[in-house]
Amino acid sequence: MAATAEKKDGIWETVKTVFWALVIAGVFRTLFFQPFWIPSGSMKETLLIGDFLFVNKWAYGYSRYSCPFALCPITGRIFASDPERGDIVVFRHPVSGDDLIKRLVGLPGDRIQVREGVLYINDEAVQLEDAGDFAETYERQGSAGQYPRCENAPVGQGGDCLKGRQIETLPNGVSHYILNIEDNGFADNTPVFTVPEGHFFFMGDNRDNSVDSRFPQATGGVGFVPFENLIGRADRVMFSSAGTSMLAFWTWRPDRFFHSLSLD
């Protein structure tokens, strides 16, 4: 009987340990950092498919989307801090409910437009500086196994896939790389978007390979994103793997471990 009681006590202690571990992990994920894998190439070369990062959850305060499944009992936003132009932000898509990561380029009241591939903010073109080409191997990438798009297409398997690269500097001085795949692409010329109060405008750094705020929500785009939907800010890549599994150590990218996302 004593052995049976000890066994039951051992099982109960294990259950309690697992329970409290899950509670602590949930609190940590909700209040401080949320893990995020990069599944697509919309933010190349700033973020590559297979990059792993932690999203800073307290950067903008908390909303109901700060909790898994949007279960936080919060109306609006608490402990709010305004995001800055140029921040790389994880947010909840207003329609699909997916978590996306893009760069914030438009603040409330801004007029945003793209003309011949150049971003205009309040009728002023952003500063651009040529920075050569971004090169990657033409091969399947990530768990989805998709091939990258290339400015020098067609490219054979294993060949160099090139994209034109520029350094874009936003009005507040934030600089970052942007990539170009085609001239006068579908979203290279847009109408003027006036960002509503309490909303933000996002774009991917891989400009011809990003479905972002340039596209309306009715057609699967992002449109304007409410402040409430912002989850947190990305500042640094913690780990990166070019393969389909983080266990495939031969595909790891050590040069991207703890890699800062800022050009400064």
Catalytic residues: 42, 102
Closest residue by Cα to residue 143 from 251, 228, 217: 251
Spatial contact of 42 and 179, defined as CB atoms under 8 Å apart: no
Q: What is the DSSP string of the chain?
A: -HHHHHHHHHHHHHHHHHHHHHHHHHHHHHHTEEEEE--SSTTTTTS-TTEEEEEETTTT-B-GGGSGGG----SS-BS-----TT-EEEEE-TTT--EEEEEEEE-TT-EEEEETTEEEETTEEPEEEEEEEEEEE-S-BTTTTBPPP-TT----TTSEEEEEEEEEE-TTS-EEEEEESSTT-TTSS---EEPPTTEEEEE-SBGGG---TTS-GGGT---SEEGGGEEEEEEEEEEEBSSS-TT-GGGB-GGGTTEES---
How far apart, in whole angstroms, are the C-alpha atoms of residue 200 and residue 64? 18
User: Peptide bond preceding 154: is omega within 30 degrees of 0, i.e. cis?
Assistant: yes
Q: Which two three-digit tokens encode residue 98? A: 């997916």
